[in-house]
Amino acid sequence: MVEILSFAHDVEGGCAPVSLAYERRGAGEPVVLLHGIGHHWQAWEPVLGILAAEREVIAVDLPGFGASAALPPGVGYDLPELLAVLHRFFDELGLDRPHVVGNSLGGLLALERGRSGRARPVTPVSPAGVWTEAERRYGFGMLRVMHRATRTLPDPLVGRLARSAAGRAVLVGAVYARPGRRAAHRVVAEARAMRQGPGFAPTLAAGLRARYTHDVPGVPVTIAWGSADRLLLPRQGPRAKRTIPAARLIRLPRCGHVPMNDDPALVARVILDATRPTATPTRPATAS
């Protein structure tokens, strides 16, 4: 069941109300799941059941996406402010040092949470921020095209396109390597989430300044990257590995930018392996 957590966030001269939606399932070691720009917590739905069988899973709608309200006046979408909001959210839920798994923007946030010392192992999946300027412009250009399409195409046409594998490829082929596997109603919901999310434009604008160039000392890091990622190209994975030398870099064969739907079993196995409480993680056959 989706829950809404409202809390007061410190701003200059006082406090401002913030409300974040989240889905919480399972029991065990807590694992927080963070989605990417334009998406919502349901991006993780294909792996939630597998993860919840062994972990307590908290999948969050980031501010201005899904069922989470936009940030109030006085609170920006720049990385430090967004992190401060998430830190407060974690504190309100009693999550001191949970495992944090994030995709795209969520992966960048996971790395920053780990760097702050407020997370146990972190697992970024195609994290944002390790791009060159040309790669950033390319990725942002694709996101703008997707956003413009969701705002231009009428709902009935989106629904008709989503009913066929070819139509789903048109709508979400930029983020899924196997868009035909995505359920039609999920594709429609994703188009609606991107179109209606008030956080899209300010988050994308804040991303112009986002770069990740730091190690994450003292925190195990597993970086996963889809071999068929068309948004943040796979060559960024080795660059992330060079930035965090002790990290494991795992290749996800035939997976796109949002790989949870392309190969749920593989992605769940990577996350479960990376978040084992005591055991030294094994190296899947796709590790590099």
For the domain that residue 57 is a member of, what is the CATH number?
Answer: 3.40.50.1820
Contacts of 30 (CB under 8 A, 6+ apart): 55, 56, 57, 58, 95, 98, 99
In-domain check, residue 279: no
Task: Report the percent of the chain where pLDDT is more than 90.
Answer: 89
278-281 long-range contacts (CB < 8 A, ≥24 apart) are: 281/220, 281/222, 281/248
Amino acid, res. 87: H
Assigned domain for 177 exists: no
**Would you place residue 16 in the very low, low, confident or very high pLDDT band (cuts 50, 70, 90)?**
confident
Confidence at 280, pLDDT banded by 50, 70, 90: very low
Q: Is residue 229 part of a domain?
A: yes
Altogether, the residues listed in the chain come to a count of 288
Count of the separate structural domains present in the chain:
1
Domain contains 159: no
Q: How far from the centroid of its chain's Cα atoms is residue 231's Cα?
A: 13
In-domain check, residue 284: no
DSSP string of 99-163, one letter each residue = EEEEETHHHHHHHHHHHTT--SSEEEES-TT---HHHHHHHHHHHHHHHHHHHHS-HHHHHHHHT
The closest of 9, 28, 29 to 97, measured between CA atoms, is 29
Residue 2: both structure tokens together: 């989706």
Instruction: Note the pLDDT tens digit of each residue in 116-127.
Output: 998 989 999 999
Domain that holds residue 97: 2-131+210-274
Using 50, 70 and 90 to split pLDDT, how confident is the model at 9? confident
Q: Give residue-wise pLDDT tens across range 149-175.
A: 999 999 999 999 999 999 999 999 999
Q: What is the pTM of this model?
A: 0.94
- Identify whether 136 is part of a domain: no
Q: Is residue 227 part of a domain?
A: yes
pLDDT tens string 56-83 = 999 999 999 999 999 998 899 999 999 9
Q: Would 144 be classed as within a structural domain? A: no
